[in-house]
Amino acid sequence: MASIRKEIDIAAPAAEVWDVVRDLGAIHTRFVRGFVIDTKLEEGSRIVTFETGLVVQELFVDLDDEARRFAYAVRSETMTHHNASMQVFPEGPQSCRLVWVTDLLPDEAAGPIGAMIERGSTIIRATLDRQTAAD
């Protein structure tokens, strides 16, 4: 099983970043604008459309406000397993770290999924980081 772990340092308070992460129906407007172009909420899941035209269903596994953690699974014809989580950790009053962990099968999916995670991470930081937004 392939496992991808991405840590993103963000110059914004953890509570503000978590508010964006937990807004499950607005990731295309508040979280990863341009990378995700549409999100539709359904009972227990969301349909996510990426800039490439790829459409996936993300099943909600857990949303824990106390731990600031969101976990989800992706249904896919090309992968036998895809489970991911995002968790926000305070690093100070005006900074935090977002940890994005994805486990998937087959191992060969790690390349394309890793590239998507890298692109998404760049957009997340650019969107939420107060220093980047101020530049």
Please report the pLDDT score of residue 134 as a whole number.
Answer: 47
Domains and CATH numbers, the chain: 2-134 (3.30.530.20)
With a threshold of 0.85, does the pTM exceed it?
yes
Residues in the chain, overall count: 135
Structure tokens at 98: 């977002």
> What is the pLDDT, as a whole number, of residue 75?
86
Question: How many whole angstroms separate alpha carbon 88 and alpha carbon 38?
Answer: 23
DSSP β-bridge partners for residue 45: 42, 59
Check: CB of residue 97 under 8 Å from CB of residue 8: yes
Averages of pLDDT over each 10 residues, the chain, 135 residues: 96 96 96 96 97 95 98 90 97 96 94 95 92 50
